[in-house]
Amino acid sequence: MALRKSATPGLAVLLAFLLLTGCTGLKRWAYEGFNRDEWQKPEEVIRVLDIRAGDQVADVGSGSGYFTFRLANAVGPGGKVFAVDVDRRMNDYLRERARVEGHKNVEVILAEPDDPGLPPSGVDMIFSVNTYHFLERRTAYFARAGKYLRPGGRVVIIDFNSRQWFDIFGSHHTSPGAIKSEMRSAGFELKHEFTFLPKQAFLVFARSGG
């Protein structure tokens, strides 16, 4: 979405100031605003992944829980969703929301920047949306994260595939080619590439040779 030149400076300054305040409410708006359901197509994303009841899923970069609770519904009461984020305030918000809404199959994890900190028992899927571009040393991150993946497990990465208006705050996109190359170096191979998201790459990986 392009901003008119006359409006960009003022809006950019306002948003930059609000983001720097660390306001949880603003971050929730940033994660969930701008008609996200229309372009993120969350129900279709969940449907095509064919998640099984009882699965253990890590939502890496869970933010305000946009996908967390949809994943929790997909895995059912016998499954588990680990909501993983480095933002303590967002984790507190998500934990309270899970409590109020009765999502007993959601566990919140305060992660390290270089490790999601998942349980040793592992997960069936590592699911990461709009987070890949934030990670430093991404190849090393996913090589390390792979130790938490159960046999036959998947890594799902959805990220913006081209420049967006909010790139005025820094780069918030990654080319599909870069993701594929970096994941290959981390020991994964591409299993599927979905193309129905208008703004994003939607890639599914598994361990190489697995």
Three-state secondary structure call for residue 105? coil
pTM score: 0.81
Q: What is the pLDDT of residues 163-196, one digit of tens each?
A: 443 443 444 567 899 999 999 999 999 999 999 9
More confident: 164 or 85: 85
CB–CB of 156/109 below 8 Å?
Answer: no
**Residue 71 counted as domain residue:** yes
Nearest alpha-carbon partner for 45 in 155, 160, 202: 202
CB–CB of 118/58 below 8 Å?
Answer: yes
**Residue 80 counted as domain residue:** yes
- Which domain CATH number covers 156? 3.40.50.150
Q: What is the pLDDT of residues 87-136, one digit of tens each?
A: 999 999 999 999 999 999 999 999 999 999 999 999 999 999 999 988 98
**Residue 118 counted as domain residue:** yes
Rounded distance between C-alpha atoms, residue 204 and residue 154, angstroms: 7
- Please count the structural domains in the chain: 1
**For the chain, what percent of residues have pLDDT higher than 70?**
78
**Residue 23 counted as domain residue:** no
**Residue 113 counted as domain residue:** yes
Parent domain of 142: 37-207
